[in-house]
Amino acid sequence: MNRSMSSDREDDVPVDYHRRLRDSFELFSRVVAEQSAEIRARETGIIVEVQPGIATVVGLPNVRTDEVLRFGGNRRGFAFNLDAEEVGCVLLDKSDQLQAGTRVERTGTVLDTPVGEQLLGRVIDPIGRALDGKRPVSATERLPCERDATPIMRRAPVSVPLQTGLKVIDALIPIGRGQRQLVLGDRQTGKTSIAIDTIINQRGFDVICIYCSIGQRSTNVARVIASLKDNGAMDHSIVVVGADDAPPGVQFIAPYAATTMGEYFMEQGRDVLIVYDDLTSHARAYRHVSLLLRRPPGREAFPGDIFFVHSRLLERSTHLRDEEGGGSLTAMPIVETEAQNVSAYIPTNLISITDGQVYLSPQLFRKGMLPAVDVGRSVSRVGGKTQLPAYRAVAGDLRLTYSQYEELEKFARFSSQLDDDTRHTLERGRRVRETLKQRQYHPLDVPRQIASLVAVTTGAFDGLPSSQVTRAQRVVQEQVVEELPELCDRIVAGQTLSSSEIEAIGEVAARALADFSVDNQTPGSDLDAHA
């Protein structure tokens, strides 16, 4: 019986084996029949010259501009100069192991970057490589770094304010969503601080923020990231880093990649704020690769197309029409001046491209006026149309008082005898300046800002020493928010303040300061330094 069963199994196995073998051959035949034989040509070049950040390649006659190239393994770059006999390439990785004769392959793809929700809270480089020690970025979609600006017929006027949380900007130099507002000044005057405070203030406003670091030291970038984390702003932010020790090509493409990330959200109907810190370093990186690739230099050795390089970047910031989703991309580029020379090449270019500028004065910074915004040299050409009506009700008197004070301050030094009107203007102006001071990492909501501005314009602080204004306005802010909650809601909703409502705020401020005690606190002792 056992022999019989064994015999049956032996008889079954060959039958099953042959059937499976026949099915396999039939499958192979179908697959082969569906395939069409064709010859595919692959272009391969070689490096003939390597310099820091660039490489010269021959043997790629059909390569396209901005096409990604692979050098000797995993090292990458992109085609930048397309000459008749050779191709100038900008490297995206270190060039220390590249040499003449190294093989170069085309990839057939243009330079792109990851986009999507998974980037929120991450620190990455422009190519999408993680820099925060977390898992690699798993992007489901990638878009080209270089994209055409939104056509004008798809754009809408800038109509919604972007609140920075800084009194001096929201009241006197307002910014709208979709605007391009330049921040410029000498080094160490607080440019980055203004940008970071603006990002922190977007909590609860459903505004996605992108901080793009270009050529900044790693310690400075780490400090910015720590500030965002400590203030709960990292959840709605993306940090794109083109570090100072990265190849110039990485620094050059950083703002374009960051803008592509922002456009992805804008096209979904979201509001985005992007900070370029800073475009002076970006211009230097572009000058570096251009000179090595023997592009003709122009003014200050910058290539002649540096204006086009920055204009095609900033032109991508806009506000879309409602039919297109209504999203916006607000640009806050930062540029560094030298010795307060705002007429230098790069600053003047960017001033002409943007919709206004916030100028930070070293003199004000040394006086402890933080943020050190020079109101007289700052302007917002389109933001005034977006400003909440409550600001407009008080900003006119505030600007007039402050400008009069700045003019009289210059001449008062040369005269010891001043009339009562001049003395009153100077005293009121000093209190306006103290009111516009603000601690770093402490942006204010709109009702608290309005409370302080109304208090100083109605003279509530006139009887106080200038050193006590900062402490006194905090008392006024809390009292106004507590006693006038309905009015605060009306302010936030964008309703106009009547004269009686302004008087009501002034009365609350006067009552709040009735029992205010003057201490021996020194001026500015409660202010954090803006670095």
pLDDT at 474: 93
425 — pLDDT class (breaks 50, 70, 90): confident
- Kindly list the distances between the CA atom of residue 8 and the CA atoms of 1, 3, 4, in Å, as whole numbers in the listed order: 11, 9, 6
Q: pLDDT of 37-84, one tens digit each? A: 666 677 889 999 999 999 999 999 999 999 999 998 789 999 999 998
- Kindly list the distances between the CA atom of residue 453 and the CA atoms of 35, 458, 531, in Å, as whole numbers in the listed order: 76, 9, 25
Q: Which residues pair with 337 in a beta bridge?
A: none
Q: pLDDT of 282-303, one tens digit each? A: 999 999 999 999 999 999 999 9
Cα angle 202, 323, 198; round to 5: 10
What percent of the chain has a predicted confidence (pLDDT) above 70?
93
Does residue 354 contact residue 180 with C-beta atoms inside 8 Å?
A: yes
State mean pLDDT over 481-490.
Answer: 95
At residue 526, does pLDDT exceed 70? no
3-state secondary structure of 135: coil
pLDDT at 30: 82
Structure-token pair, residue 84: 């008749």
Q: pLDDT of 89-137, one tens digit each? A: 999 998 888 899 999 999 999 999 999 999 999 999 999 999 999 999 9
- H helix or E strand, kind and range, residue 131: none
State mean pLDDT over 144-171.
Answer: 95
3-state per-residue secondary structure call for 301-328: HCECCHHHHHHHHHCCCCEECHHHCCCE
The rounded distance, in Å, linking the Cα atoms of 436 and 229 is 26
3-state secondary structure of 372: coil
pLDDT at 414: 66
Q: pLDDT of 350-382, one tens digit each? A: 999 999 999 999 999 999 999 999 999 999 999
Structure-token pair, residue 507: 């009365």
Computed on alpha carbons and rounded to an integer, the radius of gyration of the chain in Å comes to: 31
Residues 6+ apart with CB under 8 A from 448: 477, 480, 481
pLDDT at 525: 40
The rounded distance, in Å, linking the Cα atoms of 97 and 215 is 23
**What is the side-by-side order of every strand in the sheet holding 328-336?**
123-124, 237-242, 207-214, 271-277, 328-336, 182-185, 356-360, 379-380
Q: pLDDT of 433-470, one tens digit each? A: 999 999 999 999 999 999 999 999 999 998 899 889 99
The pLDDT mean for the chain works out to 90
pLDDT at 371: 96
pLDDT at 505: 95
The single-letter code of the amino acid at 177 is: R
Q: pLDDT of 378-407, one tens digit each? A: 999 999 999 999 999 998 889 888 888 988
pLDDT at 158: 96
Q: pLDDT of 215-246, one tens digit each? A: 999 999 999 999 999 999 999 999 999 999 99
Q: pLDDT of 169-182, one tens digit each? A: 999 999 999 999 99
pLDDT at 337: 95
Catalytic machinery residues: 381
At residue 332, does pLDDT exceed 60? yes
At residue 528, does pLDDT exceed 80? no
423 — pLDDT class (breaks 50, 70, 90): confident
Give the chain's domains with CATH numbers.
44-109 (2.40.30.20), 114-387 (3.40.50.300), 390-512 (1.20.150.20)
pLDDT at 15: 54
Does residue 126 contact residue 250 with C-beta atoms inside 8 Å?
A: yes
At residue 520, does pLDDT exceed 80? no
What would the DSSP string read from start to end of 107-124? EEEE-EEEESGGGTT-EE
At residue 16, does pLDDT exceed 80? no
Q: pLDDT of 186-222, one tens digit each? A: 999 999 999 999 999 999 889 999 999 999 999 999 9
